[in-house]
Amino acid sequence: MSWRGSNTIQDKIFACLTYLVPLVEVLRFGAFLFALLPPLAVLFSPLFFLLPIYGSYWGLVALAIFFGLYFGVVRNQSLSYFLRFHTMQALLLGIFAWLCEYLLQLFGLSQQLVFGGFPTANDPMELLVAIVSSAIFIFVVGGSIYSIFQALRGETAKIPIISDAANSQV
């Protein structure tokens, strides 16, 4: 859906770049899939270089990026609706991944996220964490890739619930 003005190539590129936030945020959830499918890890290897920078200084860099994008782009009425919408949608996908990570930490299940590998038959909780983390990874990566392709086409991506929330904030 392309409306509220034309989208420049600059807007399309910047809209695509905002999806680096959820992609970097969700990398931890892909540990099981990366162990199962090594070519997938190679595909995501450029993002692994961003992870130490993104998580440095006790997460202050990630927080600064979030507030910079929110107040500098989403709340900036002089920028195009297209760019503001995609930025908000990327931030919401990142927030979803962050909330899932902290929910798993709350239940003491985040250790499996860090070490990954194959779940053993001895602990069914490892299998549950592997399934849940893989589903979260697939949802966020799939939503980000779909949104990137839609942004390159100059259209807004429609992801259920997330797009509605992004639209209400823009």
Domain ranges of the chain: 9-169
CA distance 152 to 134: 27
Q: Is the pTM of this model over 0.85?
A: yes
CA distance 146 to 165: 17
pLDDT given for residue 1 in this prediction: 46
**For the chain, what is the mean pLDDT?**
89
At 6, the pLDDT band (50, 70, 90 cuts) reads confident
At 113, the pLDDT band (50, 70, 90 cuts) reads low
